[in-house]
């Protein structure tokens, strides 16, 4: 252990801190902060907006850690964000209905002459639709994550372990829905 500490000191590494729950590992009733991110001054200068997030437990007894190098630059949002088609829309059962409804509306608009202009208008309509329907999966995800956190903080028994497994599977499905692929 002293050799490991010596290597950390030689590389001038320091703990970068974290966002989220302080505990990154659990086993039964025991919880500890085992996992952490180490940085040096050079890395800190290269990525001044970076943050390490301790994400929610899923199938492992360790929390996944996410280093987001632009976390603090994105806090507060940006008006210059580019909208993209999101892959999770295609998994929504009502998306194909939306496309079938939208295309005739856009196609009959005399102000939209080119196919490119029509597709851009459809794209805008999808982004208007997005907060009303697909974002509900984000609410379901947050609720499932909160429920899982509640279960993980109390004493474990067979019933809670079964509920933990159920919530973990639900979270995995909802996270899959939230994956964004740009086209």
Sequential pLDDT tens for the chain (183 residues) = 899 999 999 999 999 988 888 888 988 888 899 999 999 988 888 888 888 988 887 778 888 898 988 877 755 544 445 566 777 777 777 888 989 988 898 888 888 888 888 888 888 888 888 777 655 677 878 888 889 988 888 778 888 889 988 998 888 877 777 664 333
Distances in Å between the Cα of 63 and the Cα atoms of 13, 18, 27, 94 are 22, 12, 12, 34
Q: pTM above 0.75?
A: no
Encoded tokens for 75: 């806090």
Residue boundaries of the structural domains of the chain: 1-81, 87-129
Residue 156 burial by Cβ neighbours in a 10 Å radius (0-12, 13-18, 19+): middle
Rounded to whole angstroms, the maximal C-alpha distance in the chain is 75
């Amino acid at each position: 252990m002293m050799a490991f500490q010596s290597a950390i000191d030689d590389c001038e590494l320091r703990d970068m801190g974290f966002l989220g729950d302080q505990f990154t590992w659990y086993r039964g009733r025991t919880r500890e902060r085992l996992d952490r991110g180490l940085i040096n001054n050079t890395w800190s200068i290269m990525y001044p907006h970076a943050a390490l997030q301790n994400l929610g437990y899923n199938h492992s007894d360790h929390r996944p850690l996410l280093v987001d190098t632009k976390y603090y630059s994105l806090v507060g949002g940006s008006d210059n964000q580019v909208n993209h088609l999101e892959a999770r829309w295609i998994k929504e059962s009502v998306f194909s209905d939306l496309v079938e409804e939208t295309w005739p509306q856009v196609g009959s608009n005399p102000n939209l002459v080119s196919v490119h202009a029509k597709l851009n208008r459809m794209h805008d309509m999808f982004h208007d639709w997005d907060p009303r329907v697909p974002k509900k999966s984000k609410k379901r995800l947050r609720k499932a994550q909160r429920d899982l956190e509640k279960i993980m903080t109390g004493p474990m028994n067979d019933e809670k372990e079964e509920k933990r497994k159920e919530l973990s599977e639900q979270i995995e499905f909802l996270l899959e829905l939230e994956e964004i692929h740009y086209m």
